[in-house]
A and B are shown apart, each in its own frame.
Chain A
Amino acid sequence: DTGVSQDPRHKITKRGQNVTFRCDPISEHNRLYWYRQTLGQGPEFLTYFQNEAQLEKSRLLSDRFSAERPKGSFSTLEIQRTEQGDSAMYLCASSPYGTGSQYFGPGTRLLVL
């Protein structure tokens, strides 16, 4: 399967713990995006990379959130000191160029207790 993959698919953590999610985009895609989706809502943009450069961050991405894409391939999203309000589905997408279709992974569902 050459689609976007995400790991883990599910994560349960206690409030105050740190969590890290990984996204592997489609190999020839140089753009990678992170979105967050809460129940009953559409996805909301968090941040995106072109190759290894993080070009934009949403105001939703507080100081507790950090994302990296060190070699322009896979990306990680870390949440420090998790809060119950961080519970959501975290979606990763990739695209071959700026105004092309974005292809999404299966998501990581986070539950903060």
Chain B
Amino acid sequence: SQQGEEDPQALSIQEGENATMNCSYKTSINNLQWYRQNSGRGLVHLILIRSNEREKHSGRLRVTLDTSKKSSSLLITASRAADTASYFCATDRQETSGSRLTFGEGTQLTVNP
């Protein structure tokens, strides 16, 4: 079953605006990873945040993790049309440590030029 739940399911913004996507999960985790997927393509790894970390940055990406609320957010600043894609969060759960990632259903982001 899918543990992660992304919110919103779809997001449409103008180029230059910031995009925030949220992810909730149910069980204890080792880490949480965010991926991007362009239509019909494979997944591109964006960032990994460990359970003992609260915030991480990579370029225009900012990820936060709140283990008490079992939630994470992905912020893309100064969005570009090329950021249009589906974004997935995936958890490495403690109970299945290292054996699999559990994905949510994703957020479809559309950045309008």
Least Cβ–Cβ distance between A57 and chain B, in angstroms: 10
Find A105's partner among B4, B30, B42, B97 (CB 8 Å cutoff).
Answer: B42
Chain B interface size band reads 20 to 34
Q: Which residue of B30, B45, B96, B97 contacts A102 across the interface (Cβ within 8 Å)?
A: B45
CA distance A99 to B99 in the complex (A): 8
Total A-B residue contacts, Cβ distance less than 8 Å: 70
Determine if B110 is an interface residue (Cβ-Cβ < 8 Å).
no
The interface residues of chain A lying within 8 Å CB-to-CB of B59 are none
Q: Does A106 contact B (CB under 8 A)?
A: yes
Which residues of chain B come closer than 8 Å to A103, judged between CB atoms? 45
Inter-subunit contact A45/B98 (CB<8 Å): no
Contact A98 B106 (CB under 8 A): no
CB neighbours (8 Å) of B30 from chain A are 99
Q: Contacts A48-B100, A97-B98 given; indicate if A42 touches B4 (C-beta within 8 A).
A: yes
Contact (Cβ within 8 A) A42 B88: yes
Q: Which residues on B sit within 8 Å (CB–CB) of A97?
A: 98
A41 nearest CB neighbor, chain B only: B105
